[in-house]
Amino acid sequence: MILDAKIHEDNQGMEKSPDDDPQKLGQSPKKKLTREQRLEWEERTREDNVRKRKHERVRKLLASLNSLSAALFATITVAERQIAVLQDLRNVFLTSYRRKPFHKNVAPIPILSENREQILPNTIDTINEVVQERESFIRKVKGLVENMDIRRKIV
């Protein structure tokens, strides 16, 4: 029985639970109720149960969002570390190609300088492309995190 259109609307999407069975709704009022009062009491109790289930679902959703957010931030950190390593690698290759070091304490790496034919000519370009891909990936993940923050505020 729908007592109020708003109550019906609030309960949309919530399945009827065995806990909503009038026999299991808990302690009924001590005094004798008319049929209509009994139905109203059952409906209010059911609404409370539905509200509790909705609250639990929202709590679980927020916990999942927090967990996902932490995982995304960890992913961003890993990608940033990869970028740093790749940039260091690029600097190693650039240093090995120089004939004269910029600083007096910097010397070309002998293995790379002696065996330049073993270094692919497009190695530095490849490293630059991977760095760009990682930076693009980080931007996309940060966009996901922003969307999650918006959804968290909505919930």
Identify the pLDDT of residue 114. 55
Identify the pLDDT of residue 134. 93
Identify the pLDDT of residue 1. 38
Q: In the structure encoding, which two tokens stand for residue 81, read together?
A: 């570390």
- Phi/psi of residue 17, nearest 5 degrees: -105, 155
Q: In the structure encoding, which two tokens stand for residue 119, read together?
A: 């270094």
List the domain boundaries for the chain: 35-154
What is the rounded average pLDDT for all residues in the chain? 76
Identify the pLDDT of residue 53. 93
pTM summary value: 0.56
CA–CA dist 135, 131 (Å, integer)? 6
Identify the pLDDT of residue 62. 87
Cβ burial of 6 (10 Å; 0-12, 13-18, 19+) is exposed
Identify the pLDDT of residue 27. 55
Q: For the chain (length 155 residues), average pLDDT per consecutive 10?
A: 48 57 55 82 90 92 89 93 91 66 54 56 82 93 86 74
Closest CA to 26 of 5, 42, 40: 42
- Phi/psi of residue 33, nearest 5 degrees: -115, 150
